[in-house]
Amino acid sequence: MTDPELHQLVKEHQEDGFRALFEQYYAYVYKIVWGRIRTYGTAEDAEDLVSEIFLQVFLHFDEIREQSLRAYIGTVAKHRAIDHARRAGTAAPLVPADDVTAQIPSGEDIAKSVEDSLENERLLSAIRSLGEPDSTILIGRYFYDLKSNEIAKRLRMTPGAVRVRLNRSLKKLKTLLTHPK
């Protein structure tokens, strides 16, 4: 069902529309949430967050444009999960580059998920090839949305050193991805 069709269904039959919205986007939201909190929380925490996210979406549904429903839901999920991870584990260690893996939740387009997974593996392989601490800095910044000072504390570096290494790593990563061997 397309986003405009979901909007129309919610307008005509709110309960059925919200049920369809939940069924269509549950796996998507869970994947976002679990990817962000798995080192800090449990599967039950993820399910609680998913429920909170859908509650927020339902409460603000009239404000969401038809064409941006998936983007809105994804953004809410990302920010809620980041907030939860920050509250739950400010002193928790970063996940090493080797532990970041893609998961294919049920109910999604398998071909697209496989394609995304292969692209993610290519990206992660390139990040791993940068070595430590560059790979951990990149993953902390772009997978876990951590700030330079948070990464610096965990790696016992200065925020300035983290920013310099991040910029250099991004240039190396761009070269690796645009000019593969």
- Domains and their CATH numbers in the chain: 3-88 (1.10.1740.10), 99-178 (1.10.10.10)
Q: Which amino acid would we find at residue 109? A: D
pTM greater than 0.85: no
How many CB atoms are located within 10 Å of the residue 159 CB? 14
User: How do residues 104-153 score in pLDDT, each as one tens digit?
Assistant: 454 555 555 555 556 667 777 788 888 888 888 888 887 777 888 888 88
| DSSP code for 107 | T
Confidence of residue 103 (pLDDT cuts 50, 70, 90): very low
Reported as a single tens digit per residue, the pLDDT across 63-74 is 877 667 888 888
How much of the chain exceeds pLDDT 90, in percent?
1
Q: Which two tokens stand for residue 75?
A: 């953004």
Is the pLDDT at 37 greater than 50? The verdict is yes
Kindly give the interhelix angle for 3-12 and 69-88, rounded to the nearest 10 degrees.
90
122 Cβ contact list (under 8 Å, min separation 6)? 177
Say whether 90 sits in a helix, a strand or coil: coil
Averaged pLDDT of the chain: 78
Please give the distance of CA 131 from its chain centroid, rounded to a whole number: 23
